[in-house]
Amino acid sequence: MMSSSIMPLKSLRILFITDLACCTQLPDGLCQLPYLEIIQIDRAPAIKRIGPEFIQSYHHYGPCPSQMVAAFPRLHNMNLVRMVEWEEWEWEEQMQAFPVLQKLMLQRCKLKCLPPGLASQARALNKLCIYHVHSLISLENFPSLVDLELDENLDLEMITNLLRLQKLTIENCPKLKVLEGIPALHRFVLAYNDMETIPKYMGGINPRHLELYCSLALLVSIAAGQSGPEWDKCSHVEHVKAYAREGGNSRKWYVLYIVDPYNLETNVSRSFMSRGTLTSFEDADRFEYVFKMSRKTFSYICSLVYVPSLEVMNSYTFDDGRLLSLEDRVAIALKRLYSSEPPETIGSSVSVSESTVLLVSERFVDAVYKRAKNHGRWPDSSKMDNIKSMFDKIHNMHNCCGVICTTHIPFGPNLDHEKNDSILVQLVIDPEMRFRAIWWGRVSSMNQSSILHESYLFKECEKGAWLNGGKLKVAVDGSEVGEYIVGDAGYPLLPWLLTPYHEEDLSDSKAEFNRRHNAATTCAQKALTRFKDTWKYLQGETSCPVSPDSLVATIHACCYLHNIVIDMEDDGAMPSVEEPDYYGEVRQLANEDAVRARDMLSLYFLKIMSSESLARWIWRTTLKSLQQAQAMKTRKKKSTDRNIRGRET
């Protein structure tokens, strides 16, 4: 029976509760308000859990003993807001509640997952809004949901099996990777102002309308139409509206696209975005020969530098007054970086002035240096696992994460008219010849050892933040070797940097280590050769003064471009701009001995080499036996054929 204190509220239809500062649980008896239609709870910072008592106290038998009465029988709208410590909502799927709930909003809490009962019992739920729920990872299996709004759910990774969903709005959910099982989707709004590539999951869904709020670089790529690297991800959508922000105007730049009849409208400059005069090759092979990259890679680079180029959109022209398009500017900058010729020679070859070559190249380098940093960053845990796997397969160098090396970039004449100096560049190179952990110093003040100790790589590895992934078991006693890179004898031997043995009369194990070590370092030699053959601007003295900062920016830009070409050649996919996912564990280097680690690894290599040799011997022996058996079978057949022919004659 209801208590007398509850009786006066039995007809209550709307309830707002605010500032439950000290309450560790929601007030008792809310589910005993049978006519309650709307409830909002705002600011309950001490509540960490909502248990079954939230709805269980109303679970009593109705007029028929076998009939269970659902809690909150008439509630159709519920908002749970700013319960900032709320982590757990316990509601089993068989517990009846909220039979007519139509709209639910969850905002600013730490809820890790939605309760099973919400999906199974709230069968009228057609709109769900989830804002700033940072711990939520997945959202799935809501059969009645029609409208879903998500904003600032930073850990959300998966949305699946929402069969009636028609409208979906996603803002700032950067980790979302899986979006599937939404066959009825009609309208999709995707907003992330820094987004530079369309998520891969777009290829698996088919909304009729797509509204996109993204970076200007991505908008430029879409505006390029079929020649843009992002076109295939959205061209199947019937209606597309894409916008990029400038200042306070979130729709300053736009692209409007309709499939049938085909129409592409944009306020991005057509002449500036048109196919360049200097890039108008019909033959793809000819284009790749001239620019040393595919058309798709070239378009991606154009999209990277588009935003800063807008500021001077009408500033540069050919000698005859025609506007230099974005593609023309990128082509001129690449021609200069590919060549050791003076700018006046390059300018005359493409009908622009020397000053135009210098200014266009300077702006291009600055834009790539600032906007393509993600192409030179240290690999995250997932990519590092791939790198280790490749070193293992190619060079049998187990648990190796890269090759460290240095190279000299000539520097002169500089602004102070000093000569005979150069930049010393330190790189870590992966098996696909990408450059990682780029560092530099003046040769006059640094050598190979000192630049290592000054580098960010050294500091991160020494404190255990890098090369802190999975260890390799190398002995039956459980001994392990951590992740490492390899370098030549000019580097110090460290637990995370292994150098070759250099004493005479090496043992078999040490000789085997040196053999594999030398094989692994070949990728660095190949990468540096490719780099120097491509970016010839860096290999000789320039004809005009250049500052150290400008040269360093150019070195970084060329390294990033080198990596971009490899990334795009790999599978043709747009390079990822996601935040790296580094391991959280800190490697305890104080417990490791570099000499012992190298010795254990060399013995391990010798041991597995014996196993590999045995496997190869078994394979060769088996193959030889099969060949002999086949030869004997052939001889018998020939002998039988001769006997048959003899009898016939």
Residue written as token pair 């939230």? 54
- 367 and 330 share a domain? yes
- 529 and 447 share a domain? yes
417 pLDDT above the threshold of 70: no
Both tokens assigned to 385: 């696992």
- 416 and 543 share a domain? yes
Mean pLDDT for the stretch of residues 596-616: 80
Q: Give dist(CA 13, CA 446) in Å, integer.
A: 77
Confirm whether 190 is domain-assigned: no
Of the listed ranges 156-170, 207-221, 293-307, 602-616, the least confidently predicted one is 602-616
15 — phi, psi (to 5°)?
A: -140, 120
Number of domains in the chain: 3
**Could you list the residue range(s) of the whole structural domain that residue 568 is in?**
376-609
- 362 and 382 share a domain? no
Instruction: Round to the nearest angstrom and report the end-to-end CA distance of the chain.
Output: 114
Per-residue model confidence as pLDDT tens digits over 245-282? 877 889 988 999 999 999 999 987 766 666 678 888 77
Q: Give dist(CA 161, CA 141) in Å, integer.
A: 5
449 — phi, psi (to 5°)?
A: -75, -45
Confirm whether 351 is domain-assigned: yes
Confirm whether 64 is domain-assigned: yes
pLDDT at residue number 308:
75
Q: Give dist(CA 306, CA 202) in Å, integer.
A: 24
573 pLDDT above the threshold of 90: no
- 341 and 400 share a domain? no
Give the dihedral of Cα atoms 612, 613, 615, 620; nearest 10 deg: 140
DSSP 421-463: EEEEEEEEE-TT--EEEEEEEETTT--HHHHHHHSHHHHHHHT
Confirm whether 349 is domain-assigned: yes
- 447 and 525 share a domain? yes
- 481 and 516 share a domain? yes
Q: Which candidate, 290, 213, 286, places its Cα nearest to that of 249?
A: 213
- 306 and 408 share a domain? no
Could you check whether the bond before residue 65 is cis, i.e. omega within 30 degrees of 0? Answer: no
Q: Give dist(CA 175, CA 214) in Å, integer.
A: 16
596 pLDDT above the threshold of 60: yes
Q: Give dist(CA 375, CA 196) in Å, integer.
A: 13
Q: Which residue has the higher pLDDT, 28 or 438?
A: 438
465 — phi, psi (to 5°)?
A: -85, -25
Confirm whether 265 is domain-assigned: no
Considering the chain, what is the average pLDDT of its residues? 87
Give the dihedral of Cα atoms 7, 9, 11, 14; nearest 10 deg: -160
- 397 and 501 share a domain? yes
Structural contact between residues 116 and 135, judged by C-beta atoms closer than 8 angstroms: no
Q: Give dist(CA 496, CA 463) in Å, integer.
A: 11
Instruction: Confirm whether pTM is higher than 0.85.
Output: no
Strand spans (E) along 153-288:
158-160, 167-171, 178-180, 187-191, 209-214, 239-246, 249-258, 263-266
3-state helix, strand, coil in the chain (%, to 5): 40, 20, 40
Percentage of the chain surpassing pLDDT 70?
Answer: 86
pLDDT at residue number 59:
47
Confirm whether 289 is domain-assigned: no
Q: Give dist(CA 526, CA 244) in Å, integer.
A: 41
Last residue of a domain, one of 74, 100, 125: 125
Last residue of a domain, one of 67, 96, 125: 125
DSSP 300-343: HHHHHHHHHHHTTTTS-B-TTSPBPPHHHHHHHHHHHHH--S-H
- 591 and 479 share a domain? yes
Both tokens assigned to 375: 């192409």
pLDDT at residue number 569:
81
- 420 and 322 share a domain? no
Question: Is residue 173 helix, strand or coil?
Answer: coil
Per-residue model confidence as pLDDT tens digits over 119-162? 999 999 999 999 999 899 999 999 999 999 999 999 999 999 99
Confirm whether 617 is domain-assigned: no
Residue written as token pair 């790529």? 221
pLDDT at residue number 603:
94
How many residues in the chain? Answer: 649
Per-residue model confidence as pLDDT tens digits over 65-122? 445 678 899 999 999 999 999 999 999 988 899 999 999 999 999 999 999 999 999 9
Per-residue model confidence as pLDDT tens digits over 10-34? 789 999 999 988 888 888 778 878 8
Per-residue model confidence as pLDDT tens digits over 476-511? 899 999 999 999 999 999 999 999 999 889 999 999
pLDDT at residue number 645:
61
- 398 and 486 share a domain? yes
pLDDT at residue number 63:
47
pLDDT at residue number 587:
93
Confirm whether 440 is domain-assigned: yes
191 pLDDT above the threshold of 60: yes
Of the listed ranges 405-414, 515-524, 617-626, the least confidently predicted one is 617-626
Both tokens assigned to 396: 């049998």
